[in-house]
């Protein structure tokens, strides 16, 4: 096994490779940029008064979601492991085709509109006969980056479905810092959340709302995200998947679909009722998982956890590893671990679980996160090696259920019934355990902290 230590130096990370305690001549440079870490705390305070709270989800018969009279739009999902998942969109007249990151953790549709070192092509509004500009500038800050752009509208088409063409709000990004990612192959971001968190304000209608309002497509979409877990030094291997707009594709999942309530219409905000390792609970108060929110976010790679939860999970994982030396620095995210290709001892690592609120009172269902998902492949520049980092990270803005979880499941964003569904994805069925409903633990009522109380406590804490 090779160990690779990562040291921060300004925005770069210098990687020094050791085998046992012997220094290998040479230093490799490895730039690790989080896919997206939004400054969500500022955003949540701005939109509090605009968020619609949902008492409970509508629980229709599942067949109601599969309305044969409504059209389904299917788009292939692509990407590079750990760098996000994108679909192809045609923008303008004639269509300019770009790869756009699908992000359920934001609401703006924004694309590169100027040259950038990490972007192979960009949107040129002046070459579109249907582009209409506005005098509105948009600024979006991230914890480790930002972008500036100008809001306009243009025609947007999903190439696989020409009848999907609608006029939508688009921000042309003219300047950015640490937003675009080298090698990611996407040139913009498609925010699929609610207008409550759109920038500069909620009057900006998100693309998906425009699609639903301008066509006969139902207010529901679903995603299958697939990433290989043993890649070696082959940088040409891609992530894949599918996005279904307007409904569900039953051919992409196995077994029963489990739904949890969307609590508020801003992010896809759900309730985590418990978390644990190898079937044993972390035994934390339920509110620790959900303050100040728990969101399902396809634009974030890791499972991001509140600091207290993150620390408890890391210490629990470290104590349950069998016959494999794993340094603390691996769990802290400052060290990679590498094995010969095909010899990664996944079976020596425990399985993590996440329980979500079920549709019935005082029930939950369990999502399992096997080591093949939370031990994330990265390019360690080690010939003949598979190199990995942890797929968990700490958060100051609540729980973010990112790709590390979503890659195991077919995820349905059923907006018309205020719920998010999970079923085992057919690209992960050999490693993800089946879910089932179960009576929740005694701390379930602690999760039912209403929105006003949560925000009062948040402001009181910041006093």
**Does residue 281 sit in helix, strand or coil?**
strand
**Does residue 446 sit in helix, strand or coil?**
helix
- CA atoms of 403 and 85, how far apart (whole Å): 9
Place of tokens 């923008």: 91
Any catalytic annotation for residue 55?
no
148, with CB counted inside 10 A (0-12, 13-18, 19+), is middle
Q: What are phi and psi of 364, to 5 degrees?
A: -145, 170
Give the residue among 66, 26, 37 at the shortest CA–CA distance from 421. Answer: 66
Per 3-state DSSP, the chain is made up of helix, strand and coil in percentages (nearest 5) of 20, 40, 40
Q: Is 101 left (phi over 0), alpha (psi -120 to 50) or beta?
A: beta
Place of tokens 């109601």: 64
Which among 103, 269, 355, 386 is annotated as catalytic? 103
Any catalytic annotation for residue 251?
no
- CA atoms of 178 and 157, how far apart (whole Å): 28
Q: What is the token pair recorded at 326?
A: 């794993």
- CA atoms of 326 and 308, how far apart (whole Å): 21
Q: Which whole-number Å values give the CA distances from 183 to 19, 109, 210, 397, in the listed order?
A: 28, 21, 30, 28
Q: Dihedral angle at the C-alpha atoms of 437, 441, 445, 448, nearest 10 degrees? A: -50
**455 membership: H or E segment, kind and range:** helix 451-462
How far does the chain reach from its first CA to its final CA, in angstroms? 49
Which among 274, 297, 355, 414 is annotated as catalytic? 297
Q: Which residues pair with 352 in a beta bridge?
A: 277, 369
30, with CB counted inside 10 A (0-12, 13-18, 19+), is middle
Q: Which whole-number Å values give the CA distances from 271 to 145, 309, 450, 459, in the listed order?
A: 28, 15, 11, 21
Q: Enumerate the active-site residues.
A: 103, 297
């Amino acid at each position: 096994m090779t160990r690779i230590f990562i040291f921060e130096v300004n925005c770069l990370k210098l990687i020094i490779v050791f085998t046992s305690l012997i220094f290998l001549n040479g230093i490799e440079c490895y730039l690790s940029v989080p896919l997206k870490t939004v400054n969500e705390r500022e955003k949540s305070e701005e939109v509090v008064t605009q968020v619609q709270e949902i008492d409970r989800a509508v629980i229709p018969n599942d067949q109601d979601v599969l309305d044969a009279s409504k059209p389904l739009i299917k788009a292939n999902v692509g990407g590079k492991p750990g760098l996000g998942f994108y679909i192809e969109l045609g923008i303008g007249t004639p269509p300019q085709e770009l790869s756009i990151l699908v992000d359920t953790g934001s609401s703006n549709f924004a694309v590169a509109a100027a040259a950038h070192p990490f972007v192979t092509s960009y949107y040129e509004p002046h070459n579109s006969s249907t582009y209409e500009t506005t005098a509105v500038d948009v600024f979006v800050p991230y914890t480790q980056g930002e972008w500036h752009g100008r809001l306009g509208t243009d025609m947007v088409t999903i190439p696989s479905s020409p009848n999907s063409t609608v006029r939508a709000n688009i921000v042309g990004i003219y300047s950015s810092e640490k937003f675009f990612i080298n090698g990611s192959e996407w040139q913009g971001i498609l925010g699929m959340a609610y207008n409550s968190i759109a920038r500069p304000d909620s009057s900006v209608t998100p693309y998906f709302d425009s699609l639903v309002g301008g066509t006969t497509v139902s207010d529901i979409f679903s995603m299958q995200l697939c990433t290989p877990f043993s890649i070696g030094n082959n940088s040409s291997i891609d992530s894949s998947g599918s996005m279904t707009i307007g409904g569900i594709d039953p051919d992409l999942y196995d077994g029963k679909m489990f739904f949890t309530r969307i609590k508020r219409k801003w992010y896809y905000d759900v309730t985590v009722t418990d978390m644990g390792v190898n079937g044993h609970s972390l035994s934390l108060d339920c509110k620790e998982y959900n303050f100040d929110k728990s969101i399902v976010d396809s634009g974030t790679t890791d499972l991001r956890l509140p600091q207290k939860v993150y620390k408890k999970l890391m210490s629990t994982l470290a104590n349950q590893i069998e016959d494999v030396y794993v340094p603390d620095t691996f769990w802290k995210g400052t060290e990679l671990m590498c094995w010969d290709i095909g010899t990664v001892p996944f079976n020596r690592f425990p399985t993590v679980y996440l329980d979500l609120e079920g549709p019935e009172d005082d029930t939950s269902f369990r999502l399992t996160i096997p080591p093949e998902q939370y031990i994330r492949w990265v390019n360690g520049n080690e010939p003949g090696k598979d190199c990995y980092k942890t797929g968990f990270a700490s958060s100051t803005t609540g729980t973010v259920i990112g790709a590390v979880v979503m890659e195991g499941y077919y995820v349905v964003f059923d907006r018309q019934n205020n719920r998010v569904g999970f079923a085992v994805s057919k690209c992960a069925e050999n490693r993800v355990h089946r879910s089932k409903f179960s009576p929740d633990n005694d701390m379930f009522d602690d999760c039912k902290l209403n929105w006003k109380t949560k925000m009062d406590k948040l402001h009181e804490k910041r006093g």
